[in-house]
Amino acid sequence: MRIKITLLAVACSLVIGRPGHAGSVPVRAANGMVVCEEAIAAQVGIEAMQTGGNAIDGAVATAFALAVTLPTAGNIGGGGFLIYRPAEGEPVAYDFRETAPAAATADMWLNGGVYDPLRHHQSHLAVGVPGTVAGLYLAWSENGKLPWQRLVAPAIALASNGFEVTDGLARSLKQALPRLKKYPASMAQFTKGGTPFEAGDILKQPDLAKTLKRIGERGPAGFYEGETAELLVGEMQSGGGIITKNDLKGYAARKRQPIRGNYRGYEIISMPPPSSGGVTLVEMLNILEGYDLAEDGFSAARNVHRYTEAMRRAYEDRAQYLGDPDVNPLMPIQKLISKQYAQHLRNTISETGASKSAPDKFDWRPESSHTTHLSVVDSQRNAVALTYTLEQGYGSAIVVPGAGFLLNNEMGDFNPAPGLTNDQGLIGTDPNLTAPGKRMLSSMTPTIVAKDGQPFMVTGTPGGRTIINTVLQTILNVVDFQMNAQEAVDAGRIHHQWLPDEIWFEQFSLSPDTVEILQDSGHALVEKKWPSAAQVIVVDRDHGILEGGSDRRVPDGAAVGY
């Protein structure tokens, strides 16, 4: 397969902090653009659009290619969310989150009455019913232009013929080696007979190519039925998992109404539950709309304080209310995203002192940062924001023998057991307990911003629970601080998630004086390495040109346009 990079944002060392530093120049293109975490996959999406496809075609082709070239998060064995805003018509949300198998129970993570984190996160039981293939097919069947086989073909070629391993992929595979060693099929696929791949080696995945070919020929039936399903269920049976042929055949992606809000005259279109992203994002934007952020400046202590207090309140609501809407139909979503509720919350914020999060010793359990996002805009200005994942990097680390794809460990996103909430970070509240067919709560936040009836910005990122706040800050950076796409991605970030009661801040993102002011106001601050890879497209306000910004915190991201 011909892979030719036409316009590529070059990965380089990153100086984080004040916006506008040297090197924060976006990729610009007149017609279409794909921004994602791997350059070959981005080019695959561009070529789909150059040959008559639209943004949905570009996104589907890119997503299948990422399943080959970005195995840590690109996938067919996981799930995710897609927001589509057509140039004409109403936006739509596609939910292809994984589901719990029919045999799942709320207490299945207990071993002899004691919570077992290995069972919850590192076992065949941790695998949810995959949704990616069904979700991509549903979005394509309703909106795509090119033939389905045409969109899967580049991924088949990449898996069959192989591609050159980058330094970033080589490092990633070496880091995953201790987990992969448990599974012979995983070692066979991602090592050279037990020897790690090095940069410049060619990685071929013939079993994955065969699975992708079945998907290309039969659509979802090539995954959820027939040989692929038999191989997946066989691995479940041999490893003690509970996914059955009926679970696979019964999986259905959902079409949902997006969460919609308004921030300073910009329309916000984001993902509804079972993603917590859209509700939490709009709630925070509504709170912050009551402040003149631009007056004080990008990283001023007063603004960081305001961000923190908005985050604190929205994440508390997230924990209390949000889950799978098919199981929790009474979630107060309209209240949470209303301007009136935001005003009430804003009135509880002091401009001079930090609030306190309670209970004092409570903490969240970890949420994996190993997700990936892609943003797409085509020549007609159809726009797609797609975030999907295997949960942990390389998911469960289990490659299905003979089928060549990694399985997720998304069941780990369910709460551990009824009532099991403690100071070690476990949450046992009802909305996100394990149940048959249930979708687990997520932080993924694919988002499209529109202005005056036209697309203005496409944004999203991996990063676990930091996802929502990273998306928030990319929007603030562009709307309030007039940054271009690359500046908005490069700018330093902060995060607060209600509990633990501390501000996480990226190195160089806050000045020593700002840190001191915040500490004097009662905030606790912790410097962190940022677990995200934002992928942003902005439509230039004056000329309509597309700007692409790919996160240089990760090694292989790219913005490709034509």
**Residues taking part in catalysis:** 371
Range 340-348, long-range pairs (CB < 8 A, 24+ positions): 341/283, 341/286, 342/283, 342/286, 342/287, 342/289, 342/290, 343/290, 345/283, 345/287, 345/310, 345/313, 346/287, 346/290, 348/313
Q: Please give the structure tokens belonging to residue 121.
A: 């996160």
Q: Are 349 and 355 in contact (CB under 8 A)?
A: yes
| Alpha-carbon span 184 to 190, nearest angstrom | 10
Of all helices (H) and strands (E), which one includes residue 459? strand 454-459
Angle in degrees, 0-180, between the axes of helices 148-161 and 55-69, rounded to the nearest 10: 20
| Alpha-carbon span 393 to 126, nearest angstrom | 14
| Alpha-carbon span 195 to 37, nearest angstrom | 25
Q: In the chain, how many H helices and how many E strands?
A: 19, 21
Instruction: Kindly give, in sequence order, each residue whose CB lies less than 8 Å from that of residue 352, ignoring residues fewer than 6 positions away.
Output: 521
Beta strands in 98-224 (DSSP E): 110-111, 114-115, 163-164, 202-203
| Alpha-carbon span 284 to 386, nearest angstrom | 21
What one-character DSSP code corresponds to residue 423?
A: T
Q: Please give the structure tokens belonging to residue 530.
A: 């940022």
Q: Please give the structure tokens belonging to residue 391.
A: 């949960």
Q: Which of 282, 252, 273, 281 is nearest to 329 (CA)?
A: 273
Helix (H, G, I), strand (E, B) or coil at 546: strand
Q: Are 420 and 446 in contact (CB under 8 A)?
A: no
Using only the alpha carbons of the chain, give its radius of gyration.
Answer: 22
Strands 525-528 and 503-506, by their bridges, are parallel
Look at phi and psi of residue 269 and say left if phi exceeds 0, alpha if psi is from -120 to 50, else beta. Answer: beta
Instruction: Kindly give, in sequence order, each residue whose CB lies less than 8 Å from that of residue 250, ignoring residues fewer than 6 positions away.
Output: 102
CA 227 remoteness from chain centre: 29
- Among all chains, which residue has been given the structure tokens 């970033």? 168
